[in-house]
Amino acid sequence: MHDRGLQIQLKKELVQQRRTLWANSLRKVVTRADAIDEFDGSLNQNFFRPTKIRFESSGKKWGSEQREKLLEGLEKLGVGEWAKMKEMFERELGEWSTLDLRGSFLSPCRARVFPRVAPVLHVFEI
């Protein structure tokens, strides 16, 4: 009885090895070269790890007038209307891109930069 269980286990391992070899050989044909190991066809786990995106800082700082205009724009137009805010307050927010406006509002330091809206931000987070 013990031999039968051992035979079944060995057969399962052999089937698994064959499936792995088949999958790896197929990957070599259909997958990008940088996503797999070139020798055995196994997946390159580093390929699937997210990379950190780093944005260059321009060294510009938000002033109190700019913060007030951004808050006013949020009150009038709502979250997400960054281009309209930029148009509405061209003089104060003109040097900032729409991504800068969004990033300043949604950045981890938003509670410090925009303390008036920090308690209700959880409503907008995804």
Residue 59 domain-assigned (yes or no): no
Residue 87 domain-assigned (yes or no): yes
Is the domain of 80 the same as that of 115? yes
Number of domains in the chain: 2
Predicted confidence (pLDDT) per residue in 2-22, tens digit: 788 899 999 999 999 999 889
Is the domain of 44 the same as that of 76? no
Ramachandran angles phi, psi of 43, nearest 5°: -70, 140
Residue 112 has a pLDDT of: 52
Using CA atoms, how far apart are residues 58 and 52, in angstroms rounded to an integer? 19
Is the domain of 44 the same as that of 68? no
Reported confidence tier of residue 126, pLDDT bands at 50, 70, 90? very low
Is the domain of 76 the same as that of 110? yes
SS3 state at 43:
strand
Residue 55 domain-assigned (yes or no): no
Is the domain of 30 the same as that of 78? no
Is the domain of 37 the same as that of 79? no
Is the domain of 36 the same as that of 85? no
Is the domain of 41 the same as that of 69? no
Q: In which domain, by residue range, is 76 found?
A: 64-123
The answer to whether residues 74 and 117 touch, using CB atoms and an 8 Å cutoff, is yes
Is the domain of 110 the same as that of 73? yes
Q: Which H or E run includes 65?
A: helix 64-77
Is the domain of 69 the same as that of 114? yes
Predicted confidence (pLDDT) per residue in 97-113, tens digit: 888 888 777 764 455 55
The answer to whether residues 104 and 74 touch, using CB atoms and an 8 Å cutoff, is no
